[in-house]
Amino acid sequence: MAVSAGADAASAVSYEPVIGLEIHVQLATRTKMFCGCEMSFGDPPNTHTCPVCLALPGALPVVNELAVHLALMIGLALGCELAPRSIFHRKHYFYPDLPKGYQISQYDEPLCRGGSLGGVRLHRVHMEEDAAKLIHMGASGRIHGSEISVVDFNRGGSPLVEIVTEPDVHSAEQAGEWLRLLRVTLRQLGVSDVNMDEGSLRCDANVSLRPAGTTALGVKTELKNLNSFRFIEAGIRAEIARQEGVLDAGATVSQETLHFDPSSGQITSLRSKEEAHDYRYFPEPDLPPVAITEQMIARARAAMGELPLDREQRLQQAFGLTAERARALAFRRELGDYFEQAVAAGGDHGATPTELLQTLANLIAVELPPRIGSDTDPFDCSVTPAAMLALARMLATKQINMGGARTVIERLAEHGGEVEAIVAQEDLGALGDGDELATVVAAALAAHPDAAERLRTGNQKAIGPIVGFVMRETKGRADGSEVTRLVHQQLGL
Amino acid sequence: MIDRNQVLHVARLARLILDEQEIVAMQRDLGSVLDHIETIGELALDDVVPTAHVIELTAALRADEPVDSLSRQATFAGAPAVSDDGFIVPSPQA
């Protein structure tokens, strides 16, 4: 996507943003990457430390087997090439969150290379340990101007996977959308909590601009620690605007690490970006290469289950759902499971008309969640999949309209029960093509002669008050399309 | 011989402040280390496969089972400054 550079578009160049993403994923293990300290979030600081993660002399790291297994699942899910021998390196830099003076990471032999997800190619996926948590104390309490910092090593040494994309992303919105896809994929795999608030999913974005239509890459900046989807999109948008300003002024963008402050929208320089060789990578002498066996790969593959994108495709193909509905169901595993169970309640779905399946998908993906609490697992509520199928059937055969269906879902969510019984009890059945509805329509036309006249002369909007009258009179039980048909019929249109 | 700017760059990475005399000395010392490393280039290594480790081993993996961590008292025992929350360090941003 090309963006126009500023208001003076006539003379200004239009730029294409080129964005690559680096995502850190904390793996769902019980213990840290290289020691047996328990993983924790929210425990008192420095209660999960040991000689290894505090870097005491003589302590030796040992690789967590489950972390490798989970990293392999990620590699397989993203279609990466898996290295048969994967090597850990020391990445050196001095910072108080890194007691060893280096981070154990991977360099030229990462666990996974290549692959793609949702049209974005991946560069690599590697394993590493997390740094400790630094709390900067100071007058403002913010990172700038702090005088002392306090280190909490509970997080130090947590198992991370870093996923690096190719620069295939071209807008802030695309970045947000792709990260949502990645998150739902990782959640489905069960490899991580992918909780951005708690830092188990963190994203950095490399942003550069180039004149639209050219292929050479511009100088990139790195936006650090964008810790919510909203901030990711806002941060990238702000950085694109900043770089446009720099380029339009005839200056050059300098390569640096930036911090986006979501409350002010300001971007500030964090520290000058060190060149890769400044990290002085060398093979970690304390860790021999990790050999990835066929057995390990087979185990990882067996643990994977169906991925959201695959399920989205299957739901479209097998049930004839629209892409939007299929995605809504596939991206929330429990909604997808609930839908498929509802379909199964009707027996062989091959015999179920596509229209009914679409209605059912619509009820489950759109109407159900807000009525049971949008984050509630539908299996934990009193609305059963079979009841939703029964309701979809009544909708498809026009025995009830959508307003009535919504009321039924509310009643089911309150106390469960049988759909037909609720419809009968609350008198929610749709007024169909019987005389009763025709009589009400006639009364509506008589009550709104002006609207009837305007409708007769071709003003379609004039039907509003007439339908409104019918809905009031029938307590919302009338079928909208049937009312429209009767109105047109009675006006001789 | 490495140049003065390279010495200053390496010193910065190591968070060292060098005076004028030390810069000259480091230039000489680092230069001779590099010269020595250069002699490896004289060896015939075409047939030697690059390796990351001296011994041909693969990593032993550890089951994901928690073990006891240190007590906070032990954790903080050698620290020059602590607060209730952790190790106090000079702010890297200061």
Residue A390 clears pLDDT 50, i.e. is over it: yes
Measured CA to CA in angstroms, residue B8 lies from A166, A272, B14 at distances of 34, 16, 10
A143 chain-B contacts, CB cut-off 8 A: 93
pLDDT of residue A5: 45
Contact call for residues A28 and A192 (beta carbons, < 8 A): yes
Which one, of A261, A174, A171, A257, lies nearest residue A209 by Cα? A171
A134 and A187 both lie in a single domain: yes
What confidence score (pLDDT) does residue B45 get?
A: 87
Same domain, A362 and A461: no
**A254 φ, ψ (degrees, to nearest 5):** -100, 145
Q: Do B86 and A136 touch (CB under 8 A)?
A: no
Among residues A254, A278, A301, which one ends one of the domains?
A: A301
| Cβ-based contacts of B58 with chain A (< 8 Å) | 85, 288-291
Tell me which of A207 and A493 has the higher pLDDT: A207
Same domain, A272 and A381: no
Same domain assignment for residues A178 and A75 = yes
Confidence of residue A9 (pLDDT cuts 50, 70, 90): very low
- Please tell me the number of Cα atoms within 13 Å of A475 on its side-chain side: 6
Residue B36 lies in a domain: yes
The per-residue pLDDT for range B15-66, each reduced to its tens digit, is 899 999 999 999 999 999 999 999 988 888 888 888 888 888 899 999 999 9
- Spatial distance between the Cα atoms of A315 and A57, rounded to a whole number of angstroms: 56
Q: Could you give the percent of chain A with pLDDT greater than 90?
A: 65
Name chain B contacts of A273, Cβ cutoff 8 Å.
none
Mean pLDDT over A312-321 rounds to: 94
Tell me what the pLDDT averaged over chain A comes to: 90
Q: Quick check: A187 pLDDT over 90?
A: yes
Task: Assess whether A330 and A291 both reside in one domain.
Answer: no
State the total domains in chain A.
3
Token output for A100: 């060893």
- Burial track A472-487 (b if 16+ CB lie within 10 A, e otherwise): ebbebbbbeebbbebb
Q: Which domain holds residue B21?
A: 4-42
- With a cut of 0.90, is the ipTM above it? no
Residue B16 in domain = yes
> Does residue A461 carry a pLDDT above 60?
yes
Tell me which of A249, A271, A301 is where a domain ends. A301
Whether residue A318 is contained in a domain is answered as: yes
Look at strands A221-226 and A201-211 and give their pairing: antiparallel
Within 8 A of B86 by CB-CB distance, chain A residues are 45-46, 135, 150-153
* Domain-located, residue B48: no
Contact B93 A145 (CB under 8 A): yes
B88 within a domain of the structure (yes/no): no
What confidence score (pLDDT) does residue A6 get?
A: 45
Same domain, A281 and A371: no
Same domain, A296 and A313: no
Q: Is residue B27 in some structural domain?
A: yes
Residue A205: give the domain boundaries.
Answer: 15-301
The dihedral over CA atoms of A195, A196, A197, A199, expressed in degrees to the nearest 10, equals: 90
Give the count of domains, chain B. Answer: 1
* A191 and A74 Cβ atoms separated by less than 8 Å: yes
H-type helices in B1-94, by residue range? 4-13, 20-38, 72-76
Residue B38 falls within a domain, yes or no? yes
* DSSP element (H, E) containing A23: strand A15-26
Q: Three-class SS of residue A430?
A: coil
Q: What pLDDT shows up at residue A43?
A: 93
**CB < 8 Å from B in window 460-479 of A:** none
**CATH code where residue B13 lies:** 1.10.20
Tally the residues of chain B. Answer: 94
User: Do A285 and A351 fall within a single domain?
Assistant: no
Residues A362 and A459 in one domain: no
Q: What is the 3-state secondary structure (H, E, C) of A92-113?
A: ECCCCCCCCCEEEEECCCCCEE
- From CA B33, how far away is CA B19, in angstroms rounded? 21
* H or E stretch at A326: helix A323-330
**CA-CA distance, A389 to A452, in Å (whole number)?**
38
> How far does Cα A135 stand from its chain's mean position?
29
**Looking at the structure, do residues A208 and A324 belong to the same domain, yes or no?**
no
For the ranges A5-9, A112-116, A276-280, A284-288, which has the lowest average pLDDT? A5-9
* Extended beta strands in A199-332, E state: 201-211, 221-226, 257-261, 266-271, 282-283, 290-291
What's the rounded mean pLDDT across residues A420-437? 80
What pLDDT does A67 receive? 98
What is the pLDDT averaged over residues A15-35? Answer: 97
pLDDT of residue B41: 85
What residues of B are in contact with residue A283 (Cβ under 8 Å)? 52-53
Cβ within 8 Å of A, B 10-69 = 13-15, 52-53, 55, 57-67, 69
Q: Which of B64, B87, B90 sits opposite A65 (nearest CB)?
A: B64
Burial of A296 (0-12, 13-18, 19+ CB in 10 A): middle
Residue A410 shares a structural domain with residue A478? no
Domain finish residue from A301, A330, A353: A301
For residue range A44-63, what is the model confidence (pLDDT) as tens digits? 999 999 999 999 999 999 99
Which residues on A lie below 8 Å from B10 (Cβ)? none
Q: Are A355 and A378 contained in the same domain? A: yes
Q: Which of A66, A92, A148 sits opposite B88 (nearest CB)?
A: A148
Name residues 136-155 of chain A within 8 A of B (Cβ): 136-138, 143-153
Answer yes or no: is B23 within a domain. yes
Domain annotation covers residue B19: yes
Does residue A9 lie within any of the structural domains? no
Residue A192: inside a domain, yes or no? yes
